[in-house]
Structure 1
């Protein structure tokens, strides 16, 4: 295991760390996940990247802090991002607010709010995703879903939104795989090593949805797509989310 740790450290500091096409998933029913947003941004080198995000208020989305960059563009109501669908809403991002304690080395506090310039128009194709009401952990073995436009093992990005069902794992599984990085007070461990199903590069920032509630945010994992992978635990950031949205109200 020791020889893997330097490789993991290098990996976590690279773009490859951004977990986040769905592996082993399927195409979603169009607009069945109306909270999903397609996020495009440029990194510090000017390279274009994609992430997922999700609508939690008409003028706020949640995503991962490592999806921060310049020229952030958001598309709501999309299924096929290569087509100009009548359901799509492209709204400029007024302000990106990453968590002030986000750690680029360990990916701890990997959460960011995006304030939109204008409120989204809610309808069947664009709607909100509920946040947890309490700081209660999702039990190990629970089946939840993740959706995104991220790439697959063949390193191809789909045009349409894909989804996959994943099992929540115990913290000890991620503490064993990511001993220097996993923080059980702010992160979740997701994905059964026996399953050929996972979030992958490009899915970062998308929500882990359990019983129609956003419990996690796709954060990081090994570049080969193995499970389990690490998700930001949304419930642990409820005070920060509420305080930050209130501070940036219109």
Structure 2
């Protein structure tokens, strides 16, 4: 990301594949069904028999990318999903190996990304397909959006259908977090959207949703881990299998 002494806010008013109304909401509006075939819902079985949810996205027929803070005892990956109803959603694919980044800091949130290797390969269809990853670039990405089943202002709890929203990105060199993009304001990912992709320019994944409220001077940002800075780590694990 180019270093600047002043921050520049870019209002991104267009969606990628379909027009999305942003408005004063957090989680966005319902996406066109199956228009984001890379999206997966992660069902996380925790150590006290609790269930949590995160988002993720397919990067191959065998690997999902998500946030490292979405670690769990057992994972179930739901692919090709649009509607989500707790007790009626079919059982997902189990994960055979979770690979959080070696330098992930749970206290500071740095390096917050993780690969999940599926117990079986998925078959690609119109509803199930990986998304390409952004290569290294010093330019701030344009025309970005986020998708997920996280909370919205309309009603509490996880959304019953995939939602999406455009985001406003900011280039602020005064924030001390390396390898991250930032979005400014309340619009964007909310609770339950962790691990989803920041998708920009020609439907390429540029970032991973990390945290929803990073204070930086008088501003509060939502944080996305910058995928181009981690390509060597990602591709190294994809080759190992």
Query: What TM bracket, shorter-length normalisation?
Result: 0.7 to 0.9
1:166–1:144 CA distance, 2 compared to 1 (3 A)? same
CA distance in 1, matches of 2:206, 2:235: 15
Preserved contact between residue 198 and residue 227 of structure 1 (Cα < 8 Å):
no
Q: Is the 8 A contact 2:62 2:121 kept in 1?
A: yes
Pair 1:46–1:137, CA change in 2 (3 A): farther
Partner residue in 1 for 2:123? 121
Contact 2:27 2:150 in 1 (8 A): no
Structure 2 runs not aligned, ≥5 long: 1-24
- Looking at structure 2, the residues matched to 125 and 79 of structure 1 have their Cα atoms a distance apart, in angstroms, of 9
Residue matched to 2:204: 213
Partner residue, 1:108? 110
TM-score (normalised: structure 1): 0.78
**Aligned equivalent of 2:84:** 81
**Structure 1: where are the runs of 5+ without partners?**
1-21, 176-181
Aligned positions of 1:40-189 closer than 5 A: 40-82=43-85, 90-133=92-135, 135-139=136-140, 142-153=142-153, 154-172=155-173, 175=175, 182-184=176-178, 186-189=179-182
- Report the alpha carbon displacement of residue 157 of structure 1 after superposing the two structures with TM: 2.0
Q: Is the CA contact (8 Å cut-off) linking 1:27 and 1:162 kept in structure 2?
A: yes
Choose which of 212, 228, 243 in structure 1 pairs with 2:236.
243
How far the C-alpha of 1:221 sits from its partner, in A, is 2.6
User: Once the 2 structures are TM-superposed, how far is the Cα of residue 138 of structure 1 from its aligned partner?
Assistant: 4.3
Maintained 8 Å contact 1:76/1:89: no
Residue 90 of structure 1 deviates from its aligned partner by 2.6
Instruction: Please report how far the alpha carbon of residue 37 of structure 1 lies from its aligned counterpart in structure 2 after TM superposition.
Output: 0.3
Measured after TM superposition, the shift of residue 143 of structure 1 is 2.9
Instruction: Determine the C-alpha separation between the residues in 1 that align with 2:122 and 2:47.
Output: 28
Question: Aligned pairs, how many?
Answer: 211
Q: Provide the TM-score with structure 2 as the length reference.
A: 0.80
Alignment RMSD (CA, Å): 2.3
Q: Which residue of 1 aligns with 2:3?
A: none
Q: Higher helix proportion, which one?
A: 1
Q: Distance in 1 between matches of 2:194 and 2:71?
A: 11
